[in-house]
A and B are shown apart, each in its own frame.
Chain A
């Protein structure tokens, strides 16, 4: 029997790198092929011969849609049984609150990223065996957005215990749990054609995540950030910081010393009382969740100050 081949689109995304790392010791069991550099014809050939195709592409909203379009094109005419794993996002639920299973309709207008993920899902769901994963908040090593950036905010005491503003649920998924979800989705027979939320059961609140991460980082005592202070950060400071970040793109030295902006979207997310229903991910993909203290230690080891 030949070694199964996984075609990985987005091999350079943080998740893609993590997947490649996870699979390299198992090279005798599974062969990974990076898809991004392939030209249209080669991509099409690879997609048709691979046992499963994984789309872990990240980037700007345009990048996300473009990746979905390229794969759609490449897979045209592929066998009906071809398995495709699309890594999407919980942002497709918009402002929804309460318990959300995968049938929950989006609420409110979707932001650019959420809309891009929704569009990519729609494109790739045209293939009957596509598995869509909707991860929550990815944390751990190689998670620049939700561990790396937050570590810098915590170290500067710019976030912490947010009081009522941090009561929303933080649907964390440890990066290695997501890797296992992707691999399981590529192979589990019953997963084809289905959508799964991927986040730990009984998630903490954002306050619990921020305080727990702050303690794990040794950025203590974790500070209580007043509503007033958070408003100043997200409404007054964030716009100029973001502009500077974009315009100073080439002046790497200055950019490096610029404090990362705390966007309003972060403030909104921290108070969003949404909880992802993950029963199917556990039952069909066989997932278990890394305990929060273990995940926080790993994240702190990756992003703590040396």
Chain B
């Protein structure tokens, strides 16, 4: 059933077995999995079906160093469907090494292993509409698999691991009909959580206070409560509720909001392949179930352990768009189309740019001199992206000159001084706004530097081409756009020790009997993997846990 708080009577007291706060990928997954469970479920969402500026403004806040982090109201959406309404759709699971013991990753100890997630990944993959849970080229394509670079041999890098692409599925639009038709799930939109009320001992949540932006107040009570509000908002909500715990809920040991991780990503260098141009394949293959898949260079577990560095993957990338010297009509078309590309994608696509009239004219000249290429690309984008429900995931331009750059995505090590805090300035509902102080460590620079070096050595040793880059520029490149946008990880980390973690292995907040967290906030380490698939898998795991404990009570 779908309800709007504005249609409920003032002071309405809603009750259910389970209350979920936040209707994004995590919250919707939980609710979907609890359909027909025999439990009554209330899913509370701040926004409506579309972006609403006044609601989105509740996400605004400050960042300590704007060069290192995007504004807090970017790369996340406060609406039904949450940030899945704007995500890119890249799916892959965490690697076993991410959840294993690594003495070189201080504070990186998960209380669970990859095996705890394995039973939930296939269904998570299905909910993300990413097809089969098969993440190697052989499993998916058999002998039809096309290697990225024929002839590349490496003991440190694999080339057969896949990333699979969701449509990208907007969980709100895609699954609203299932929640709406459900007899045991009620969704209330425009309901903002303003207070988490605890009992006198501060060990149980007794109810939640909710408000709409136009002043309607309701309460919600349940046996179990789940915060599924994203990596930034979860920390803010825990920190802002101080009635019983002066440091905030679950924060007796000053861990909430700390260990904030994103990913370290960038584009660097030039690879000129000496092999035939058809020996290089950087495009997508479509799996039998119709899912776009792409292979990547992934740093093997043994190499990570030997080098004592974080997880790392790389892909081939087109040359820098902003420089018209590439003389590629499509890249120039993208440059000229910048005003029409959403902020979240334009940032990394284009980067900072002087934007001189002369540059603009040179790009225009590139388009005019090869109009067929540009028109063909525009048609492909219209048909396969704009009008398609399963969208072509990104821009793929094969270089006739056999010249590419390297696009990398690396793990960020846990760091207690990288954190999310409360700001003194309140939002429209009187809640303190968020303040972000994202930081990285010298070890993170080392991860990327060493991993690139290994990749370059293996390219050279294989004789397929040369990766050239300036090692002195690695740190500048990996922070050129700051923390990777949209991946908000670690702010309510999972662990067995309350002094160094916020939730336990079941995602229950330490010291609270009935409050759980769902989402990337609970990740203890960040992996190389984009987080959404694991967010969904963890939500399914939490749903199974809630069913189990509800059946006992």
Contact = CB atoms under 8 A, between A and B. Distances in A.
Interface string A151-166: 0000000001101100
Interface string B159-183: 0000000010000011101100101
A304 to B, nearest CB: 14
B36 interface: yes
A273 B289 contact: no
Contacts of B468: none
Interface stretch (A11-19, A40-48, A222-230): A222-230
B290 interface: yes
B178 A163 contact: no
A99 interface: yes
B267 to A, nearest CB: 29
B289 to A, nearest CB: 5
Given A161-B290, A273-B181, A224 B390 contact: yes
B174 A220 contact: no
A185 interface: no
Given A164-B174, A224-B388, A215 B289 contact: yes
Given A98-B183, A224-B390, A226-B389, A161 B289 contact: yes
B53 interface: no
A178 to B, nearest CB: 26
Interface string B272-307: 000000000000001111100000000000000000
B542 to A, nearest CB: 22
B177 A224 contact: no
Interface string A213-247: 01100001111101100000000000000000000
Contacts of A160: 290
A101 interface: no
Contacts of B289: 161, 211, 214-215, 220-222
B6 to A, nearest CB: 26
A260 to B, nearest CB: 22
Interface string A46-90: 000000000000000000000000000000000000000000000
B133 to A, nearest CB: 14
B216 to A, nearest CB: 30
Interface in B17-36: 36
B181 A224 contact: no
Nearest to B169: A163
B389 A221 contact: no
A221 B290 contact: yes
Interface string A185-224: 0000000000000000000000000010011000011111
Contact of B287 (A164, A221, A224, A227): A221
A273 B290 CA distance: 24
Contacts of B183: 98
Contacts of A221: 286-290
Contacts of A214: 288-289
Chain B binding surface SS class = loop
B178 A222 contact: no
Contacts of B389: 163, 224, 226-227
Given A98-B183, A99-B36, A224 B178 contact: no
Contacts of B129: 161, 163
Contact of A226 (B178, B288, B388): B388
B186 to A, nearest CB: 16
Contacts of B36: 98-99
Interface string A273-300: 1000000000000000000000000000
Given A99-B36, A215-B289, A221-B290, A161 B390 contact: yes
Given A211-B290, A221-B287, A167 B388 contact: no
Interface string B36-61: 10000000000000000000000000
B143 to A, nearest CB: 15
Given A161-B289, A273-B181, A224 B167 contact: yes
Nearest to A218: B288
A264 interface: no
B61 to A, nearest CB: 34
Contacts of B178: 167, 273
Contacts of A97: 181
Of the candidates B167, B288, B289, the one having the most CB atoms from chain A within 10 angstroms of its own CB is B289
A164 B170 CA distance: 11
Contacts of A222: 288-290
B156 to A, nearest CB: 32
A226 B181 CA distance: 21
A143 to B, nearest CB: 23
A149 to B, nearest CB: 21
B290 A223 contact: yes
A215 B173 CA distance: 27
Given A224-B390, A226-B388, A273-B181, A163 B290 contact: no
Contacts of B286: 221
Nearest to A99: B36
A151 B211 CA distance: 52
A189 to B, nearest CB: 34
A164 B388 contact: no
A279 to B, nearest CB: 15
Contacts of B167: 163, 224
Contacts of A99: 36
Interface string A162-185: 011001000000000000000000
A220 B285 CA distance: 12
Nearest to A220: B288
A222 B390 CA distance: 12
B526 to A, nearest CB: 31
A17 to B, nearest CB: 32
A219 to B, nearest CB: 9
Interface in B345-401: 387-390
Interface string A115-133: 0000000000000000000
Contacts of A161: 129, 289-290, 390
Contacts of B177: 164, 167, 271
13 contacts: A98-B183, A161-B289, A161-B290, A163-B389, A164-B173, A164-B174, A164-B175, A164-B177, A211-B289, A220-B289, A221-B289, A222-B289, A224-B390
Interface of A: 97-99, 160-161, 163-164, 167, 211, 214-215, 220-224, 226-227, 271, 273
Pairs of residues from A and B, 6 with the lowest C-beta to C-beta distance, nearest first:
A224-B390, A220-B288, A221-B286, A221-B290, A222-B290, A215-B288
Given A221-B286, A224-B388, A271-B177, 8 more contacts: A161-B129, A164-B173, A214-B288, A221-B290, A222-B288, A224-B389, A224-B390, A273-B178
